[in-house]
Amino acid sequence: MKIDVYNQKGEKTGETLLPKEIFDVKLSQDLMHQVVVSQMSNRRQVIAHTKGRGEVSGGGKKPWAQKGTGRARHGSIRSPLWKGGGTTFGPTKEANFKKKIPSQMKRRALFMALSEKFRNNLLVVVDVLNIENPKTKVFVEILKKLPLKNQSRLIALSGMDRNLILAARNISSTKTIQATDLNVFDLLSFKYLVLPKESIKVIQKTFIEKEIKEDIQEEPKKRETKKVAKKAVKTRKKKK
């Protein structure tokens, strides 16, 4: 799989190979949707909070005697029945919206999103992306020369480049992210993905090697479960 490589002037300088295991993965919309929903839930911040009767101030003693006053009985002015009292069944900051999803599913969905960017010609590879000073004006000129058609763009950097991050943070519809932190939600939030050549190697090293390590670690567990299953089958046969 080959793709054109551009320089910072917007000129084609050659081609580079893309790893098939990352940029040639069949799309599964159900999996993508599941991963995006989980990421949105995990990013959700709990803001709404109402105080219950145990959190509002005041009401340390019984307002008046239980009997003999002619008034209704009350135990505390913190009661939801009173003005300034606690709220019944209101939203609280203890709400938990987090959703767990297996790392293999997240990784697979990421590869699908990257593959779709490549298939739809929304992936722009740059040989080198750097600027001497953190100047927004300079970086805007570079982006204008690249085939991005004035659409939103996500720039995946191979490392921590302070100049590029500072220059890009004030440009509308533009976001910089480390290649190691790439995720489905950010990829789908922006039209184009800009990748320096070095970032492709970082993506391959980060996500493919992780997958291999996890498979190696899971193999002994799979063997153990198979042995346990075989023993269970043998014991059942003997009982019969």
Question: Would you say 179 and 202 are in contact if contact means Cβ atoms under 8 Å apart?
Answer: yes
Q: Which residue has the tokens 């390590």?
A: 213
Here the tokens at position 176 are 């910089």
CATH node for 2-44+102-204: 3.40.1370.10
pLDDT in tens, 110-155: 999 999 999 999 999 999 999 999 999 999 999 999 999 889 999 9
DSSP summary character for residue 169? T
Question: How many CB atoms are located within 10 Å of the residue 5 CB?
Answer: 19
Q: Say what the pLDDT of residue 231 is.
A: 72
pLDDT in tens, 28-76: 999 999 999 999 999 999 999 999 999 999 888 999 999 999 999 999 9
Question: Would you say 199 and 223 are in contact if contact means Cβ atoms under 8 Å apart?
Answer: no
Q: Say what the pLDDT of residue 97 is.
A: 92
Give residue 214's pLDDT band: very low, low, confident or very high (50, 70, 90). Answer: low
Q: Say what the pLDDT of residue 13 is.
A: 92
Here the tokens at position 108 are 């697979």
Tell me phi and psi for residue 124, to 5 degrees.
-120, 120
Is a pLDDT exceeding 80 seen at residue 222?
no
Q: Say what the pLDDT of residue 127 is.
A: 94
Q: Say what the pLDDT of residue 104 is.
A: 93
Question: Would you say 234 and 159 are in contact if contact means Cβ atoms under 8 Å apart?
Answer: no
Is a pLDDT exceeding 90 seen at residue 240?
no
In this predicted structure, which of 3-12, 79-88, 209-218 has the lowest mean pLDDT? Answer: 209-218
Domain boundaries, the chain: 2-44+102-204, 46-96
Give residue 215's pLDDT band: very low, low, confident or very high (50, 70, 90). Answer: low
Is a pLDDT exceeding 70 seen at residue 223?
no
Would you state the torsion angle of the CA atoms of residues 9, 11, 15, 17, taken in this order, to the nearest 10 degrees?
40
Identify the residue with better confidence: 187 or 223.
187
User: Quick check: helix, strand or coil at residue 240?
Assistant: coil
Query: Cα(155)–Cα(142) distance, rounded to whole angstroms?
Result: 13
Residue type, 181: D
Segment 91-100 shows an average pLDDT of 92
Is a pLDDT exceeding 60 seen at residue 167?
yes
